[in-house]
Structure 1
């Protein structure tokens, strides 16, 4: 069984995001970039399925700028077998919208014929949480989102989903799309020997035009602003004083 894993290059989650002074977007100058954490979990799960003998090949794909090759090499160092980069933008500030990403992934699926696509539930830069669901609709495949447990047996996958009311376990027929949540696993660190081996693993480069997909944005960002600073808290000396403060602010 072949597994396809989409990965995205995003600002590292440890970095404090800065907004440009003119409000035109996020400042990416000299900012550390890394693999989207949810995608890292997806790569780890695919590799674990291969180690269990469930999967025979893990292919990772990234859509964006040429610098995403670094992200793909990270996935290869973790244990993925091959990588595909679809260059769909020249400017690192250009974010390819979920529908365009899903259309490109649908083309890649058509070429690669995987039985399972494992993706992060969302990217931490735009928090869209839409690509996996759109890809499922375009392909007409089963989908299981927000997975915290995943097992594959025969032509079906059993997925435990994190939902508002707790946990839900469902069974979907393959081929299927599974989007993963934080508690599915803890991704491994790539060892130095594997990092060196990753440099020799195949990495194919395509363009969105090669796949016949229009990636022109349909949304326009009018302004980007940092969230308002939280107001300082107030210390009170008693419950009565607390109640009085809450009444004063119209909270009770």
Structure 2
């Protein structure tokens, strides 16, 4: 089974204090610590487990600049065989539809049985996987937390409202968006990262993918970010400060004093 996993380099919320920039149109990105998107990490682990059990290979792919190579190399150290970087000035400012169009061009350059994405990325739109499937005219399932391969098909479980499980059969090739909790991503050590440090990662631009540069990027984006703001504190709201442990203790005491817990 040839599997392509779409990954993204995002700010690590555990390592950063996220603030809005002075223009109010984005977060302040200077000096941020970046890592792989959490949902994508589960998708890569699931791909590796499927290949370990059923054979094939795993390729990781990302749309980004040269700094995004670090995310590809991390996932290759995890066990993916190959990485592909989609990097072009024309891609900058693409919305979800543009990202999906870029990925579609790369998918069509390969021969993949299964394409995996994380359920959502840093902005939480959860749209690229579904758009990519629609552009490819492939079957699609979202919030997948179980995959069982069959003969040219997959049995997939989906997390639905109320904590219930929905099980479907889906034909290959297909696109699946992976939910956290489907597995436990393996630890990536320094030795593994060093092992892939010098592996060549091909870079593809718009012309390599057969894309009109004007069809993607900021100029072609149908969704544009207008404003970022911090919601005003409502009447009676109280902000808890301190370490995570201190905030938890304060919250428990507040809940007890308000009669929320005993």
Fold equivalence (TM over 0.5): yes
**Structure 1 residues 2-29: Cα deviation after superposition (integer angstroms, max 9, x where no partner):** 1000000110131221111231311111
Alignment of 1:137-152 (within 5 A): 137-152=134-149
State whether structure 2 residue 190 is matched by structure 1 residue 192. Answer: yes
Q: Identify which range, 181-190 or 229-238, moves more after superposition.
A: 229-238
State whether structure 2 residue 230 is matched by structure 1 residue 226. Answer: yes
CA contact (8 A) 2:95 2:224 kept: no
Question: Aligned equivalents of 1:81 and 1:172: distance in 2?
Answer: 25
Do the aligned partners of residues 143 and 55 (structure 1) sit closer, same or farther apart at CA in structure 2, a change above 3 Å counting? farther
Number of aligned residue pairs: give it.
Answer: 236
SS of match in other structure, 1:150: strand
Instruction: Please tell me the root mean square deviation across aligned C-alpha atoms, in Å.
Output: 2.3
Q: Specify which of 102, 105, 108 is matched with residue 104 of structure 1.
A: 102
Do the aligned partners of residues 206 and 235 (structure 1) sit closer, same or farther apart at CA in structure 2, a change above 3 Å counting? closer
Alignment of 1:111-130 (within 5 A): 111-123=109-121, 125-130=122-127
Corresponding position of 2:204: 206
Question: Aligned equivalents of 2:90 and 2:137: distance in 1?
Answer: 31
Corresponding position of 1:77: 77
Question: Aligned equivalents of 2:110 and 2:98: distance in 1?
Answer: 18
Corresponding position of 2:250: none
CA contact (8 A) 2:6 2:62 kept: yes
Alignment of 1:166-185 (within 5 A): 166-185=164-183
Question: Aligned equivalents of 1:19 and 1:50: distance in 2?
Answer: 42
**Structure 1 residues 209-238: Cα deviation after superposition (integer angstroms, max 9, x where no partner):** 432143222233222112434612988989
Question: Aligned equivalents of 1:72 and 1:237: distance in 2?
Answer: 49
CA-CA distance at 1:65 after TM superposition: 1.7
For structure 1, the 5+ residue unaligned runs are: 243-252
Question: Aligned equivalents of 1:68 and 1:78: distance in 2?
Answer: 16
CA contact (8 A) 2:90 2:217 kept: no
CA contact (8 A) 1:64 1:95 kept: no
CA-CA distance at 1:111 after TM superposition: 1.0
Question: Aligned equivalents of 1:23 and 1:131: distance in 2?
Answer: 25
Q: Identify which range, 224-233 or 165-174, moves more after superposition.
A: 224-233
Corresponding position of 1:163: 160
SS of match in other structure, 2:76: helix
Question: Aligned equivalents of 1:236 and 1:115: distance in 2?
Answer: 53
CA-CA distance at 1:89 after TM superposition: 4.2
For structure 2, the 5+ residue unaligned runs are: 240-253
Question: Aligned equivalents of 1:159 and 1:108: distance in 2?
Answer: 25
